[in-house]
Amino acid sequence: MLIVLALLGMILLITIKPAANMVQRYQEKIFWQNLQHAWNKELSTLAQRKENGKVLFNDQKIIFYENNQEKTIIDIPSTLELYRGYRLHINQTGQMNGGTIVFNSKDHQRQYYLVIQLGWGKYYVKQTK
């Protein structure tokens, strides 16, 4: 009986860790999709309305502002941490300052670079490791 319980415990340990990793990667994938959707929506809205905006990256969330009012908040998944905070300014024509924002995975397996091109706010994500 003790041997059966020990084997069952080992099987559970072997299967739980890969499942947890899969869930974490899925959460990260959803985060990047949500960011892309919010990014495109906010930039087009600001350009249509000819309003100023900003995007604030902090430890736990990304906040989109329209005329200094919070409009959209994207939570950063618990598996990622921001290297340092960052603020982007968007002018009335939709142009913005460029920059690179670094996200590190907490398991130190991945690093993401969110590279924002100067001008029209296009970006791409580069994953390393």
**Domain positions in the chain:** 2-128
What is residue 129's predicted lDDT score, i.e. its pLDDT?
76
Contact criterion met (CB below 8 Å) for 94 and 120: yes
End-to-end C-alpha distance for the chain, whole angstroms? 44
What is residue 13's predicted lDDT score, i.e. its pLDDT?
64
Looking at every residue in the chain, the average pLDDT score rounds to 87
* Spans of the chain, pLDDT less than 50: none
What is residue 2's predicted lDDT score, i.e. its pLDDT?
73
What is residue 107's predicted lDDT score, i.e. its pLDDT?
81
Percent of the chain with pLDDT over 70: 88
pLDDT in tens, 46-77: 989 999 999 999 989 999 999 999 999 999 99
What is residue 72's predicted lDDT score, i.e. its pLDDT?
94
What is residue 3's predicted lDDT score, i.e. its pLDDT?
79
What is residue 87's predicted lDDT score, i.e. its pLDDT?
94
Helix, strand, coil shares, percent, the chain, to 5: 35, 35, 25
| Token pair for 54 | 């900003």
In whole angstroms, how far apart are CA 120 and each of 33, 35, 59, 96, 115?
19, 16, 25, 6, 13
Q: How far apart are CA 33 and CA 114, in angstroms?
A: 13
**CATH 3.40.50.1820 is held by the domain 2-128:** no
